[in-house]
Structures are given as structure tokens and as C-alpha cells.
Structure 1
Amino acid sequence: MIEAVVSLRLALVGNPNCGKTALFNQLTGGRQKVANYAGVTVERKEGRFSGPSGRTFQLIDLPGAYSLEAASPDEVITRDVCLGHFPGETAPDAIVCVADATNLRLHLRFVLEVRRLGRPMVLALNMMDAARKRGIEIDVAKLEEALGIPVVETVAVRRGGAAALAARLDGELPPAVVVDANSDLHAEVRALLADAVSMPRRTAEIDDALDRFFLHPVLGLGVLAVIMFLIFQAVFSWAEPLMEGIEAGVGLVGAWVGSGLASMPMLQSLVVDGIFAGVGGVLVFLPQILILFLFILALEESGYLPRAAFLLDRLMLKAGLTGRSFIPLLSSFACAIPGIMATRSIQDPRDRLTTILIAPLMTCSARLPVYALLIAAFIPDQTVAGIFNLQGIVLFSLYVAGIVSALAVAWVIKLIRRDKSEHALLMELPSYRIPHPRDIAIGLWERANIFLKRVGGIILSLTIIWWFLSTFPGAPEAATEPAINYSFAGMLGRWLHVLFEPIGFNWQISIALVPGLAAREVAVSSLATVYALSGHEEGLQAIVAAQWSMATAFSLLAWYVFAPMCLSTLATVRRETNSWRQVWIMAGYLFALAYLASFLTYQITRAFGA
């Protein structure tokens, strides 16, 4: 298929919470890709769309910024790309600046800053439907005349809500506007508002009513705790039928493929014991990961997450952080890498470094397969108080343990560092809105793609390598033990067992931790491969339940609360901090905490006879 030639390259900019990403999704649909900026671990979204004439446009969704007088690394990226100063990139042909029509008092200042760049520019007034509901009247013609740039109304959450913008961009490129770079921006914003905008009140009545409830210092925290608790209940309760279906499907396909390879035992072992046992053991957890992301995306789209950050600011301040660290830490529940990347929005270097160092303590989705395996094997599937799932309660407790540990480590860092000053949190609280199913679906599709690429890429590769190490060299002729005991993996496992025996790990667990350094999910696939090659035909969950003590299972759960992160995370920390010292500090303290927590858990659980 011949790809259409791009007519114009457009940069999409705006304040956080202006609906920029929803507008990007509206324009580009599924024709988009996610990557990182060259040499920088900041997410880069690119997409394509066609105008009414058939011309093809490339759209770059830049990080949200409050100002081009960059105070954070994210804002530096946005400024440099718009100016054409970013290494290896040319300046965009035009800039599309998105502003929230319900909050022009704040957003117009950024619009004026972008206009100062002297590049062709179009202003998209987004959320015009919400503005009209609140009685806000905007004279678009007057605003366009005063700014000297095209102004287009958009409603990013409605089908066709960006059609007018696409049509305007398909026309003649707007000329650049030359303005006085020394004028007072705040005065110009006031003049624009007075001339072109009629606003009955600064905030919506519904927002004020909801905030009295959600931001209440006592009720608000209770609501947040209930929301998080229900999320983890759903992760187990909703996902179970889907997981059983995937497990059964993988088993049937594996048996069918294996039967066709019966005449080639070595290849059959690779395919059945290696690929299907290993990769299938991880793939089964996709429903739980997607359910977790479903809630995170919905909370983000609704406007609740910034309020949760505001609500937790006082608590986080005691640990030496501000509420601005909340969203990067929440992102780390998905993966520590985007969480660490998200710290670029934190202006204070001290707070940013602390947030980076504790981000891996948030329970990332890669830990979920390990948690789900052990909880399902050792915690009864029963209800508590008639409505709550006991397994979900245990999972919630593990996530809470990670959060509490992160705050404790941040508090210790606060005691150690020299700078004792506090930094106030200043942030915008966007209007509440109902999440749009299309944006949620696109977000889930992206996360599913990322997970499946890991399964088909690094996890598959490591599974094959691990099968080789677990198979060769073969057992001697007079061998009385399973062949894997004589393999390279078996030898490594016995060496590592000396180190991990005090915390209750057998040699199978010990060697599974090694490939788990590349990706935590691989620990599950490695265990599946090892036990399959040991002659066990049952599922991994049944094997674990039958052969491990509860003390060992709980010890491994404790290990993964603190476990040193994957190598990709360490590489990201090195790039973000430009310091190997911080990498070694992070890896060292996490390993020490993991070992200590596992040791205490194992010994205490054994003392109670488990």
C-alpha cells in the first residue's frame, strides 16, 4: 500500500487538561503511533488525518505546558519543538493551540505566548458545548480579530467535533503574526476577556458542588480510598472469566501444535514447554492489566486525578513531596518507566529526584502476574462481609504496602537532604467531565499493544533463551533426577539458592529472578518453563499450590513489593538523572528492602506454622 504524502506538519499544543489529547484522538483516530523523542524519554504521539480535499496532515501531540518560559523538562520539549530547536527536528509548518473555552482566563495567556513565536497558528476553542451550558458567551469573530489568528470552535468528545478545525487547516496556511514581545501578557488577557467573553461565573456550579464532596479533607480521602479499593476488587472479580478463557485457549492450541510435532521431541519441547508454557503463562494476565488501566484512564478523563493530587498534597508534604508527585506515582502503577518520565512536569529538581527514586515502589502492572499467581494459589476465593472478594482485599493490601513504603522512603530522604524548605502546590483543577468511550478505547488499545509487543518481543525471546538454558546440557546416562537439574539453569539455581535460602526461595524461584530483571513478568514464564521441563503437566498455579509452603509464597509476595526494578527502568533513571550514582542508590536500597522484607515475612510466617 502506497502511503499518502504529508502536506503539512502540525504541532498540537495547549495547557494540561484542555482536551488536547481528546482532540488528537478525534482527528487521527487509529492512525497514530506512540514513541519517545530522540534521546529523551518523553512520550511522543504522532498521527495522521485527511482534510476535506484529501490532503494528508501529520499531527504531533506535544506535552502539555503552562508556559513557554520553561520551568519543567516537558515544557522545554514543547518550546524547542515549536521553535525548531529540537535536535534532529525541523520546525512545524503551523501550530494548533488548544484552549479550554470554559477557562479562558488561564488558557489565553499561553495562547498569547505561543503567538509570540511568530509561526503560523490556529486557535482551537475546545469544550464549547460545556461553555454554552455554563452560560459563557464567546464572540469568536471579535477574538479572532483581536488575536490576528484563525479561531475555530471544537468539541473533541463529540463525533465530528473537530470537522471545522480539519476544514480550516485544509485551507490556506494562516500567516504568522508579529507582536511586541515586551507587552504585558496579563493586561492583554484582561482586555481580550472584557471585549470578547461574557462569563456569568468563574467556575461551574456542578464543579463547586462536587468539589465540596470530593475535596473534603475527611470525606474526600475516604472516597479516594474506596475508589482504589473497588478498582482492585474489580481486577480480580471481572477478569477471572476472561483469564480462564485465555488459559484454556492457550492450552488447547499448545496441545494441538504439540501433537503435530510428536516426531520431533526437541522442537516439541521448545514449542510446548518453552513458548506456550512461558508466554501463555504471562498472556493470561492481560485482562487484569486492561481492567486496571480502564479505571486509571477513566479517572484521568473525568478530571478527578488532579483533585486526588490536591487532596493528597498535605499527606505528601509530610513525606517531603507535593501533590504534583501524585500523577507520576500513579502512572507508575502501570509501569515505572512512564512514571519516571512523567516527573518531567515537576519543576523542583529536589522533588523530582525523590519522586524518581520512589517510583519503582508503586506496584507496576508487571508485578500483577506474580501477585495474581500467588494470591490465586494460596488465598481462598471467598467473600468477606458478603460482598468483598478476599483475593481482591489481599491485592489491595499489597498495593497499599507499596504506597506506604514509598512515602516512608521519601520521608527518610527528606531527613537526609540538606534543603529543608517546603514548596507549595499550584495546579489547575479542570472541570468534571464524562469520559468519552472512544478515548478510553484508544488508551486501552495502546496499552494492550504495548503489553502484547512485550509478550511477542522481549518475553518470547527470553522464554526461548531460558528454555535453552533449562534444557542443555542434557542429563548424563545414569541420571536419576529430572534433566533440568543438570542444565545451565539448574546449576545457576543451586548457586543462587545459597543466597536466597534464608528467605525461603527454592532454586526454581532463585533462577526465575534472573530473567525477571529484564521484565518482571518473565519470572512467571520462567517458572512455567522450569516446571514444565521438570515433568510437571499441571498448570503453574496448581504446581505452586502443591509444592510451595505458604511462608515461601508470602516471602515472594513481600519480595515483589520492593523488588529491584527491571533493567529498562534503570536505564531510564540513568537517562533522566544523568547519574550512575542515583541508579546504584536506587538498585541498592530496593534490593536491601526486598531481602529484609522477605526474610522477616518468611521467618514470621514459619513461626506461626505456615
Structure 2
Amino acid sequence: MSPPPAAAGRRRSSADAAPDASAVPPLVAPAATPAVLRVALVGNPNTGKSTLFNALTGLRQKVGNFAGVTVERHEGSYRGSDGTRVSVLDLPGSYSLSAGSPDEAIALEVLLGRGRDTPLPDVIVCVADAQHLERNLFFTSQLLELGRPVVLALNQMDAAEAAGIRIDVPELIHELGVTVIPTVAKRGEGVERLKLAISRATSLPRPQRLFAMPPAAADALAPVTAVLEAAGFDPMPAAMEALRLLAVTRPESHLAAATDLRPRLEAARDQLRRAGHAPERLEAELRYDWIGGVLSRVVTRAERRARTASDRIDAVVLHRVWGWVIFLALMAVVFQSIFTWATPVQDAIEGAISWLGQTLGSGLPAGDLRSLVVDGVIAGVGSVLVFLPQIALLFLFIGLLEDSGYMARAAFLMDALMRRVGLHGKSFIPMLSGYACAVPGIMAARTVENPEDRLATIMVVPLMSCSARLPVYTLLIGAFVPATALLGGILSLQGLTMLAMYLLGTVTALGVAALFKRTLLRGPMRPMILELPPYRWPSARNLLIGVTGRAKLFLRKAGTVILALSVVLWALATYPRATPNPGLAPEVQQEQALEHSALGRIGHLIEPAVRPLGFDWKIGVSIGASFAAREVFVSTMGTIYGVGEAGNDVTALRAKLRDERDPRTGQAAYTPLVAVALMVFYVYALMCMSTVAVTVRETGGGREGWRWAAIQFAYMLALAYGAALLVYQGGRLLGLG
């Protein structure tokens, strides 16, 4: 079907050609500038939308959740050339306004002004991939019909040109009736012109319908459109909504009040079938027919070369043997670097923490205040802060893998293995995200369409070793695993041990997923449809912003949750005080004071349950405290061993753990076998209240959500206890401990 003359029938003449390819249509009328210009940034996944968001807002960003849901909300701001503050909301990636996933539902709610605590945006910036314009224009055409000011950012123009694709941008402006700005977000090209276009967008004519429906379709949908207009839809969005609802089996809750909607939709479907149209495919057919006409006038393609650089790389990276070798090698490099590259920065942080503790300690009189500051706050928080370089490195590597395009290849590579456990490769993306944090990993499961697959993914994501486990692993590995060189110095025993913990969680997650898919969550197998983005050089600026943002979140946790718990734990470890016995050595007095304190008494109540695992009461207390956040285990041990003005950095804590003696036998209380059992326990145990909360939300909330969260917590705790028991007792039988 050809577009109507007003939208696509006119040809550009030399008189109305733009002076350059990023021309901005002129202002047609003055408009009052709002105090804050609200911009919604939308687009398909893999269009470089997040990179463009970073280029627009820089470090002026904040991360939270949309009201009432656990979908991450990224919002930033910048100052326009006229001084206006522009607030940019980065909406989840969407392929259409049909809201086929929870992420797309959030984007739809915001764009229609129905989002809780999220005002209707003043301007919509649609980010389209210039190399895949046909697919991107489907979503773009839907956005244009909302009747809101729209700017199209034609991103990744460099990749399109390298692929031999030439886009006539002035002609595209005439076809769409909106401003089109070519950009290369990773290099910042076109960003300033995009900001200018955003500031002008509210003063330009609103886009009109880009294509006309066949008369038979318009007649069939007229009664549905009338109901939608009565429900509050404007004429243009009402017609668009009517077209969209033809393929929807259950209208959304905001249309439930329109009692005549369902019978009229059924009548419209019957009428369309009699006219020879397929109702469920009508919107796609109309839009792609229009898109085909636009592309024929806008896009020219050079003859495609037989084999691109990406094709040659994929031949190796996706090889059934070499692909796995490369994947495991990359993981080994990541975990080895955590020990080697972060060491100088860690040493500097340890030195600063030690200096701060000594300085404050010398300036304060002896007593509870000095003990609180030095042994409670500095020993507790400082023992966690020292792991910031390692966590930053982990997020840096994850960002590199994502931005380069390798992460999608890893999911594709894993598809065959995932299908054996009843899932498909798309479920591996949330699982990979779980290496950073289980909370966004569970939220990322919203991209899995099948409900049973999504729930199975949610149930196993916490088994992936997140960054919060990293302080526990590095503390114990640094204390009890020697840095023996392997493979000619390429890898060390410490790095190999770290890799083993991550692989253990990953393999177990696949096994547990297979169990769920064969019992509680049986469902049909579905093929994976996954877009492989082209390989790109990651943007250093984008990586810096991402790592900085995650580091801030970690520091915020250290400054709130861990600080508060450190103070509470110091009080529990200090009171009630034991009667001092001058005849005993200071170390013995310290041990007696701890056992007499509230923390010691709680620990001795816990100790019978953890003693079969090789753990004493101190580890038991630290495990219980770490339910607030796993890294609290380290700060709790730091607080326990900081009492009595012991060393207040991680090196001193490791030394204390190695020197600790079992009062019953006089032998070492903590051995390499105990350390491995403890790490295995943390691989499996769900010691994170944030993960429990997000599981409740993502599995439906209410009683159903709590049921799944309880199942998740119980099976992981049983798995952790059983595995740690097997490691410790099995190791003792083999004479290892």
C-alpha cells in the first residue's frame, strides 16, 4: 500500500533540500519554554540508546525504580543552550507499543501519560539503528501516531556507511514529517545538534498519520475507535489503539471500563476476515507496506560484500569447540585480573583506612567512643570498601563484553546447553547479569516471553555468583589459597579457585533449572530469536559512566546498610561487658569479652547448627548478619576482630583468620578446607534480602510471590548447607582438614 500524498508522496526538490544531512526543520511558531523540558528516550534494543543517553547526560544521572514496579529507571539531565533544564528518561528497549513484555508495558504507560509519578513527556526522542532502519521504523511509526513532539535520532551512522548503506536524511525528514538527526553516540557526533532539535521540537507541527487504512479496515474499526474515543483516547491514538487491539486477546486493565469494547472487537475481526484481511497481521502488513515505500525512496545500498569482518569473527567465536574455549578463557582472564590488577589500588585503600583509624584513634580518649569509631565504623566499613577496585573491575569487564557485542554471542553459544535444561539462550542474559547483581538479573528475566521459562530463570539467577559475594571469596582465597603460578604464570591458583566458584554456581543453576522445568514449571520448548548486534569498539566514556554509577551504588550501600550494621554489631560485640581479669593475656581477655557479649551469646546459640560444617560461632553470626547484604559477612568479621584495637584492614583480618585457634583443641580454627566449605556455602545460600524482595515482586506479588520467594530461599539454603557439609566432612574423611 502506498503512503498518502501528504506523508510520503511528495519528492524533495532542490529548493527545499536541507543544507546538510542533519538539518532541523525551522521554527513555525513561538512556544512557551517549560521550566523543565521532559524527554523520553525510546528505541529498539541494540540501537545504542543507552550510549546516547550517557552522551546527553554525562554523569548527571540517577538510578531508581519506576513507581510500584522493579523496572530500573534511569534519569539524567543537562542544560539547554537557553538555560532550560532538560530531564531525560531512558525507557526500557521496546520493539513496539503492543506491550508484549513487562519492560514494553512500562514504556507504553509512560508514553501515554499513565505512568505512576511519571509525567507525560514533552518530547519523545526515538533512537533508530541506521543499519537496520526497516525494523526500527515499525516502532517509529507507532510513536509518530501518538501526536506528541518527536525527534528521530538516526544512530550508528558510521556502521551503516561501512556496510554500504546510504540514507537520504532530508528526504527522510519529508517522509516522516519530523526532525531527523544522524548521530554516532559512542563518539558524541550529532549530540549537540540533537539537543538543539529537542529544544525546538515543541514548537514544530505534530506528525500526522503516515499511512491510510483500506476502506474495509476503516469501516470495520470505526465502532471500536468510537468506544476508545469515549474512553478518553484522542482521535489519532484511538485509531492506532484500535488497530493494535486486533491482535490482543485480553485488553489492558485501563480499558476494562469500556464494556462495549470486546464485542465490537470481535465483530471487527469477523468483518475483516470476510473482507479478506487477517486481523492479527493487519497492523504489521500496513506498517511494513508503508515502510517499504519509504525505504525505496530514502535508502540506497551498495553491493554487499560476500563476508564481513563480523562474519569472520563469528566463525571462530561461535564455533562449537573454539567458542567454548574462548568463553572460558575470557572468564579466566576476568577473575585472574580481579586479583592482579586491583592489588595496587587495594593496597592504597588499605593504607588510607589504616592511617585514618590510627589518626582518629590517637586523637580520641580511650573508651567506648574510640572503640566505636575505630573498631566499629572504620573496621567494619573499611573492610568492605577495600574491595571496591575488584567490584569496579568486574563491572568494567561486563560492560566491555556487553558494549562490544560479545554478550549476545555468549547467549547464542549457550542456547544449545540451555535447551537441554528446558530453557533457551535468552535466559542466559539474565543469568549473566546475575554475575553483577541478582536484582537486575531477575528483572532482566522480563525479556523471556514464556511465563514458565521466565519463572524458572528467576528461581536460578541468585545461584550466579554476584559481586556481593566477591568480598567473601577474595577474603578467604587471599587468606588460605596460595598464589601458586599455573600455566607458566598466566593463571594462579587463586584465580583458578575464583573461577571454580563462579562455574560451580553456573553449572548448579543449569541443573536446578532443569529440575524446575521437569517438575513445577513444565512448559513447551520455544525457539530462541536473538539479534546479534555488530561488533563495536566499546566507548571509554560510556564504560566510565557505567562503572562510576555502579561504584556509587556500592559506596551508598557501604555508607548506609553496612555502616548501620557495623554500629549495631559493635554494640552487640561490646555489651554487656565482662569483668576484666588482669592476670590473663590480652588475647584471652578479648576472647572472653566477645563470648560474654550479646553477639557471643547469639553466636553460641547458632554454633550447634553450623559446627558440622566446620564453622564456629563467629562465622555463624557473620552468616546471619549477611542476610542484609552478603558483603556484610566481611564487615562483621572485621568488627569482631577489630574489638580490642586489632588491625583494621583486610590484610590484618586475613592474618587474624589464619592465626585463630580453636579453644577446645588448640588447633587452627580456620583451615583451607573450612574456607572452601564457607565459599561453597555462599555460592548457594540466598543471603540477600533485596533478592527476596525483588523475587516477590517479579513472581506476581502477594501470596503467590511470597510462595515462590519462600521456595527459592528454602531450596538454596538446603543446597548450601548440604554442599558445605559434604565438602567439609568429605574433606576430613580424605584427610584434608
Q: TM-score range by the shorter chain?
A: over 0.9
Q: Determine the C-alpha separation between the residues in 2 that align with 1:379 and 1:34.
A: 37
Residues 491/311 of structure 1: CA separation in 2 closer, same or farther (3 Å cut)? same
Partner SS for 2:187? coil
> 1:296 is aligned with what amino acid?
I
Match in the other structure for 1:573: 695
Give how far 1:201 is off. Answer: 5.7
Residue deviations 1:277-319, cap 9 Å, x none? 1111111111111111111001111111111111111111111
Among 244, 269, 288, the alignment partner of 2:371 is: 269
Contact 2:48–2:155 under 8 Å retained in 1: yes
Contact 1:482–1:534 under 8 Å retained in 2: no
Residue deviations 1:70-97, cap 9 Å, x none? 1110010011101111123221112100
Q: Determine the C-alpha separation between the residues in 2 that align with 1:201 and 1:343.
A: 39
Contact 1:360–1:565 under 8 Å retained in 2: no
Give how far 1:52 is off. Answer: 2.7
Q: Describe how 1:236-315 pairs up with structure 2 within 5 A.
A: 236-261=339-364, 263-315=365-417
Match in the other structure for 1:564: 686
Among 698, 704, 708, the alignment partner of 1:582 is: 708
Give how far 1:6 is off. Answer: 3.8
Match in the other structure for 2:465: 363
Specify every segment of 5 or more residues in structure 2 that has no aligned partner in the other structure, as ranges: 1-32, 213-239, 244-282, 661-669
Match in the other structure for 2:595: 485
Q: Determine the C-alpha separation between the residues in 1 that align with 2:725 and 2:537.
A: 47
Match in the other structure for 1:175: 205
Query: Rg larger in 1 or in 2?
Result: 2
Q: Which moved more, 1:355-364 or 1:54-63?
A: 54-63
Match in the other structure for 2:328: 225
Contact 2:150–2:201 under 8 Å retained in 1: no
> 1:500 is aligned with what amino acid?
V
Partner SS for 2:131? coil
Match in the other structure for 1:542: 655
Partner SS for 1:141? helix
Specify every segment of 5 or more residues in structure 1 that has no aligned partner in the other structure, as ranges: none
Q: Determine the C-alpha separation between the residues in 1 that align with 2:487 and 2:325.
A: 19
Contact 1:483–1:534 under 8 Å retained in 2: no
TM-score, normalised relative to structure 2 = 0.80
Partner SS for 2:378? helix
Match in the other structure for 2:12: none
Q: Determine the C-alpha separation between the residues in 2 that align with 1:418 and 1:572.
A: 20
Q: Describe how 1:85-164 pairs up with structure 2 within 5 A.
A: 85-164=114-193
Q: Determine the C-alpha separation between the residues in 1 that align with 2:502 and 2:496.
A: 10
> 1:242 is aligned with what amino acid?
V
Give how far 1:534 is off. Answer: 5.8
Partner SS for 1:581? helix
Contact 2:400–2:538 under 8 Å retained in 1: yes
Contact 2:607–2:616 under 8 Å retained in 1: yes
Give how far 1:178 is off. Answer: 3.0
Q: Determine the C-alpha separation between the residues in 1 that align with 2:359 and 2:149.
A: 60
Residue deviations 1:538-575, cap 9 Å, x none? 81101112221222212101101101231111111111
Contact 2:77–2:85 under 8 Å retained in 1: yes
Match in the other structure for 2:720: 594
Give how far 1:254 is off. Answer: 0.4
> 2:66 is aligned with what amino acid?
Y
Give how far 1:17 is off. Answer: 0.8
Contact 1:558–1:597 under 8 Å retained in 2: yes
- Identity across matched positions, percent: 45
Residues 590/172 of structure 1: CA separation in 2 closer, same or farther (3 Å cut)? closer
Partner SS for 2:542? helix
Give how far 1:420 is off. Answer: 3.8
> 1:403 is aligned with what amino acid?
T
Q: Determine the C-alpha separation between the residues in 1 that align with 2:320 and 2:186.
A: 32
Match in the other structure for 1:329: 431
Q: Determine the C-alpha separation between the residues in 2 that align with 1:502 and 1:74.
A: 45
Q: Which moved more, 1:202-211 or 1:108-117?
A: 202-211
Partner SS for 1:366? helix
Residues 82/602 of structure 1: CA separation in 2 closer, same or farther (3 Å cut)? same
> 1:491 is aligned with what amino acid?
R
Is it true that 1:454 corresponds to 2:557 in the alignment? yes
> 2:693 is aligned with what amino acid?
A
Is it true that 1:21 corresponds to 2:62 in the alignment? no
Contact 1:36–1:42 under 8 Å retained in 2: yes
Contact 1:124–1:153 under 8 Å retained in 2: yes
RMSD: 1.7
Q: Which moved more, 1:68-77 or 1:478-487?
A: 478-487
Match in the other structure for 2:254: none
> 2:629 is aligned with what amino acid?
A
Match in the other structure for 1:196: 298
> 1:198 is aligned with what amino acid?
T
Give how far 1:202 is off. Answer: 7.0
Residues 192/444 of structure 1: CA separation in 2 closer, same or farther (3 Å cut)? same
Give how far 1:105 is off. Answer: 2.3
Residue deviations 1:21-80, cap 9 Å, x none? 111111111111111111111111111122333322111100011121111100100111
Give how far 1:442 is off. Answer: 0.3
TM-score, normalised relative to structure 1 = 0.96
Partner SS for 1:53? coil
Residue deviations 1:235-256, cap 9 Å, x none? 1111112112211211111011
> 2:727 is aligned with what amino acid?
T
